[in-house]
Amino acid sequence: MKSRRADGRPVGWRALKSRPILLTAALVSLAVMLGVNLVSGERIRITGLTAAVPALAAVFLGPLDVLLISILTVGAVVWASADNNLLGTANFPVVLATAVLVGAGAVLAARARARRERQLAKVRKVAEATQRALLRPLPGRLGRVTISSMYLAAEEEAAIGGDLYAAGVDERGDTRVLVGDVQGKGLAAVEVVGLLLSSFRRAVRSGVPLESLPGYLDEGLRDDLVDLEENGAPGTVDSRPVEPEFLERFVTAVVVDIADDGGTVRIANCGHPPPLLIRGDRVIPLLPDVPELPLGLGDLGRGGHHVDSYDLALGDILLLYTDGVIEARNVEGAFYPLADRLAYWTRDTPAVLLEDVRIDLTRY
């Protein structure tokens, strides 16, 4: 997922373009207040209110812009006071000092905000690069299976999260696909994503059968989380503070194996939303016969894992997704009815289907 909009513009494009507008608005506000002071004379005195302009500007503009507005504000205060014959009054030094102090504070606040924004941008850039490295682009085809994928953040700024996917071909030639969702979000969730994807890819290379895969991933995930805590400094993971619930994280996941001849799909579901099979004009939820626990909670289960098997026909589409889709709400608070909406696009190819879902979900 890249920090760009669908039209190719960087995320920061709007903020950069709006700077002249905000600066103009601040200058116009200052000019209006000065005009009111000059026109009203001694009847209405809002000289002190003028000092609010640089304070408000510090919320939106950079330190140099705020410095310019602060200097102009001090000049406006002196001009208005002179026009109203207030320069010789005992209150004028107070008004002038207020304008100077507010302006200086506004410049410092704008500078601190700009520094924090730069730091946040660097963190996001590193985190986004890390996630792109973990979530490698899926191939367009594996064996007899055509694959299309899409990673869509709930918000523009949410460049990192706990959703994951991977695909590969095992030693028998079967296509294996994993889709999952880590409990939580942010950098800690991305770390868990890395652990789980490493275990999954290792399992594909080692030929771990699907029946044993959930237990393999579950045990590996719990061991990796314990190792991270034990090998780091006390109370840290890689020199970062450990969240209290770090070792309690779990991952809902679904793994599908599609036979080399494309005629059968076998599914191991670990507490994840069920895949949807699109066959002709029908949308069929592939609910597990036996509910299973998410990965990371295997020590609470009965041991072993149930695997469901279904026949596939030429042209069938199997849609895997995370709960971010079906838990999206409209303005009335209703959840997005994914299975019902898919009925409109059963004739689509996989790539077109995903784009239709994206557009419809965004509108919803």
For 74-84, the pLDDT digits (tens) are 888 888 777 77
User: Any residues with CB less than 8 A from the CB of 359 and at least 6 apart, and which?
Assistant: none
Residue carrying the six token digits 């991952």? 251
Can you tell me the distance from the alpha carbon of 87 to that of 133, in angstroms, rounded to the nearest whole number?
A: 65
Residue carrying the six token digits 């506004």? 106
Tell me which CATH code domain 153-316 carries.
3.60.40.10
The answer to whether 260 and 170 are in contact (CB under 8 A) is: no
Q: Is 45 exposed, middle or buried (0-12, 13-18, 19+ CB in 10 A)?
A: middle
User: Any residues with CB less than 8 A from the CB of 39 and at least 6 apart, and which?
Assistant: none
Chain region(s) in the chain for CATH 3.60.40.10: 153-316
Global confidence as pTM:
0.65
Residue carrying the six token digits 């986004």? 128
**pLDDT given at position 349:** 87
**pLDDT given at position 57:** 86
Q: Output the average pLDDT for the chain.
A: 81
Q: What is the pLDDT of residues 102-127, one digit of tens each?
A: 889 999 999 999 898 888 888 777 76
